Amino acid sequence: MKSYTITKKMGTYCLLIAGVMLWTLSAQAHTAMRFCTTWRSHYVDSGHGEDVFTSDNPLNRPAQYTRYYLRNNDTGAYVSSGYLDSDGCTPYLSLSSNTEYKFSQGTKVSKSGAGTLYVNPDGYNWGYSYVWYTYYYTTGSFIYNVHHEHTFNPSTLNPYTNIMPIVGKVLDKYDTLGYNAGPYGLVTFFHTDCKENRNPSCCDHGGAYYKRGTPYICMAGDWGGSGATYWKFILGHEIGHRVADYHDGPGGGSYSFDDQTNPRCNCNHVESGSQLHCMQSMEYIAAAEGEGFGHFFSSALFNNRSSSNGIFVCPKETWFYFPPYGWIVYPPERPFDVTNYTKWGETECSLGNENKGVELDWMEFFWHAWADPISSTTLTSSELMSVWEESSSSNYDDLLDGAFSLWGNTSRYVQFWWQGYYSGVDHHD
Ligand SMILES: [Zn+2]
């Protein structure tokens, strides 16, 4: 009886030793390691006091929410795939020492609860295809019980890689920006082969524009390095149009009222881009609201909501009062502080009745309504757009009716009309 017990104990002891040895061996061969990666990007309209992507030098920025794939390149075995986290990193994975890994990152971002954005390859139609970039890394001899990390810093810089940090940031801030749509999220596609017009079904002309009624955004590629994707405020602006259109928000209609009586209320001074519309021109109201919303969305993307200032950088020529010279045409890349109450329409243009507006005024209206609580409450981007969805037209009185029908006589309604008054967009018949 006694010897049986001893034998049994010895057996258990040996099994324990064997187990510890096996566990030790496997611990030496594997460790917890993650890969992080970036996209190289260059935004020439940076460094004007905004809060996000502030350098105008080419930089590697975190590949937030980017599609990735990881294989063991020695065996070809699949290791992990999915979407990177908000830091541009994989989860911690059990990797082998002294082994080559093959890491691929694709021009697609996705975040659950928000949505998905694709950058389609040039020469292809719109769709779910995107571009992969692959890098290799060989692990060393791991130190047991230490978390390891390797960051790829790809040097590839092109229109695709310029778009990627921006769309990652859209998903990062999706909530207050309104980039969300039910359980499946909002989907948007980018194309960059506009300029050479290789694929007319994708982009009908150059420049940067959102194709209304679709999920498609065209960005003139200019692979030489100065096209629209090098202007982050333009990228943000076009995504704003997509979000507004999806939520039945402001936009559409004809653009310029083309007021020839006051040069500061038309676009004759614009040489760098389209004269169809510009920051200070008098426009039909729906167009002014839609463009103002695009400027606002871009400002909300690149500035913190709690900032005392907020910067939008305009890519076209604008009017600027410069004492003692008076009015001058300011060249492209002018920073506007969206926290101002400029009231351009009231002070410079004769708006006449309520079917006219100015982009600058509406940009400031949206910023204030979103970030500046007059009535102890602010409105999210989605809430703002729901007013347009609720209203019978884009005229200000109809918007007020829509806001009242949504919210009644509450602080939300007060925020909407009070900011309308201060921003000078409250034009009545
Ligand atoms: Zn626009």
Read off the DSSP letter of residue 404: H
pTM equals: 0.91
What is the predicted pLDDT for the residue at 200?
56
Question: Is 429 in a helix, a strand, or coil?
Answer: coil
Looking at the domain 31-246, which fold is it? Immunoglobulin-like (2.60.40)
Alpha helices in 255-395 (DSSP H): 285-302, 344-347, 359-371, 381-390
CA 248 / ligand 1 centre spacing (Å) = 16
| 246 alpha carbon – ligand 1 mean position (Å) | 15
Distance from the alpha carbon of residue 155 to the mean position of ligand 1, in angstroms? 31
CA of 351 relative to ligand 1 center, distance in Å: 21
Distance 294 CA to ligand 1 centre (A): 6
| CA-closest candidate to residue 334, choices 346, 321, 343, 323 | 321
pLDDT for the residue 201? 60
CA of 143 to the centre of ligand 1 (A): 54
CA of 146 relative to ligand 1 center, distance in Å: 50
Residue ranges for the chain with pLDDT beneath 50: 1-28
* Residues 63, 79: Cα–Cα separation, whole Å: 19
Would you kindly state where each structural domain of the chain is located, as residue ranges?
31-246, 263-423
CA angle 231, 234, 235 (to 5 degrees): 90
Predicted pLDDT at 274: 83
Alpha carbon of 195 to ligand 1 centroid (Å): 18
Alpha carbon of 238 to ligand 1 centroid (Å): 6
Predicted local distance difference test score (pLDDT) of residue 22: 45
Q: What is the pLDDT of residue 427?
A: 84
pLDDT at 202: 64
> In the prediction, which pLDDT does 375 show?
84
62 CB burial (10 A radius; 0-12, 13-18, 19+): buried
pLDDT, position 29: 65
pLDDT tens digits along 44-59: 999 999 999 999 999 9
pLDDT at 23: 45
Cα(216) to ligand 1 centroid in Å equals 13
Which tokens hold the place of 127?
A: 């769709």
Beta bridge partners of 62: 38
Using CB atoms within 10 A of its CB, is residue 165 exposed (0-12), middle (13-18) or buried (19+)? buried
Is the omega angle on the peptide bond into residue 324 within 30 degrees of 0, that is, cis?
yes
